[in-house]
Amino acid sequence: MRKLFIQKYDCCGCTACVSICPKQAIEMEADKEGFLYPQINLRLCVECGLCQKTCSFQDTYKTTENFKAPKVFAVKHRAETVRSNSTSGGMFTAISDKVLSCGGVVYGAGFDESMIVCHQRANDKQSCNKFRGSKYVQSEMRQVFLEIKVDLECGKKVLFTGTPCQVDGLKNFLNKAGIDKTELILCDLICHGTPSPLLFAEYLAFCEAARGKKIVNHIFRSKVEGWHAHTEMNVFSDGEEDCKSILSQVHRNIFVSSIALRPSCHYCKYTNLRRPSDITIADFWDIDKTMPAFDDNRGVSLVLINTEKGLAAFEDVREDILFKQGNIIDCMQPNLRKPTECSPRRVEFWEDYYSNGFNYVAKKYAGYGLIAEYRKLVAKFLARLGLLSTVNGVLRKYRSV
């Protein structure tokens, strides 16, 4: 019986194996943590071995087209509206707009109508704008590898943006399928790791139940508190935007704790300067120290140009961006050095989730409920001093102003 992987950390979920199968014998199925893994239908499988040969995550990936060292730039889009709606400096929009203007198509991660993060196809700016901004949850790839194959066969210019493992999976699939990649631009991210889609869905439902209204958007990196802050925002059906409450930061706290990332993220082989893409985009952290005059706390993209094709794409957007050349020493983020370490509480976290549900882990691991408990203690203390009614009166007056 053929197996695609031995341990779960051997599979990044890129769907290259699903896409290459000539008998459509492989489907992605969610495990109990909500991560998708390929499963072989043995009744359809003909043991051709293409799935294993196409898997890039378990093999050495090739970067023969890469420069000896990437060219480093700090980038800001000239349009402030673009930058304000981007996670960092708007470099993705600069490239995607150029591709669209040439009649090309763009693939990126965005929400679908059910608030599930998935990779989608866009051939106009309005559709493409939903791909802006980081998505701190693993996206469903669905059938996009096959859609990209068709677009390239039709001679279209294609921009694909995703995590390094998704980019490399696409490259391997197209290579095995014998597809000319001349018109394909690959853009990857410096990735901390991808959290569970199941937990994110649970989080959205938790927020909606707590607030009694529907969430219509979630911004994983709001700039309301400035770009240097990492603040997430819920946008509700009545127009309310919440980035202040502890409830709005529960998913953020789970993400930064690295407690619920996909197992393969802790064994990622792309956490170095040997990028599988033409262009790498990320936040330019520490630019306030390395290029303080270029930093305005509204977002700056770190851009690594890895190939000649990436350099040509960069040259095409020079008029749309402000940029300064940097050096690799000043931008060596942790995930350009090594994979994110697994939280020592990961097993405990999932056991608590299975036994007690999302509400419990939100309180135990993500700080939800701590503010309420703190307020209760403060109220008791003020009541003991006879000051509670006075303070509440002042607060009511302040809130009414």
Give this prediction's pTM.
Answer: 0.90
Residue ending a domain, among 336, 357, 386, is 336
Q: If you search the block for the tokens 């869905």, which residue do you land on?
A: 201
Answer whether residue 354 is part of any domain: yes
Answer whether residue 3 is part of any domain: no
Please determine, for residue 308, whether its predicted confidence score (pLDDT) is greater than 80: yes
CA distances from 23 to 14, 63, 84, 191 (A): 18, 30, 46, 33
Q: Could you give the angle at the alpha carbon of 66 between the alpha carbons of 304 and 321, nearest 5°?
A: 30
pLDDT in tens, 217-249: 999 999 998 999 889 999 999 999 999 999 999
pLDDT in tens, 59-77: 778 888 999 999 999 999 9
Burial environment of residue 71 by CB neighbours within 10 A (0 to 12, 13 to 18, 19 or more): middle
Residue ending a domain, among 286, 317, 336, is 336
Answer whether residue 46 is part of any domain: yes
Q: Could you give the angle at the alpha carbon of 114 between the alpha carbons of 236 and 218, nearest 5°?
A: 40
Strands (E), 231-342: 231-236, 241-242, 279-283, 301-307, 321-325
- Same-domain status, 303 and 321: yes
- Same-domain status, 100 and 168: yes
Percent of the chain with pLDDT over 90: 85
- Same-domain status, 243 and 296: no
- Same-domain status, 184 and 82: yes
Here the CATH number for the domain that contains residue 109 is 3.40.640
Three-class DSSP category at 67: strand
Q: How many domains does the chain have?
A: 4
Comparing 65-79, 119-133, 373-387, which segment has the lowest mean pLDDT?
373-387
State which residues form the domain around 287.
66-194+261-336
pLDDT of 58 reads 75
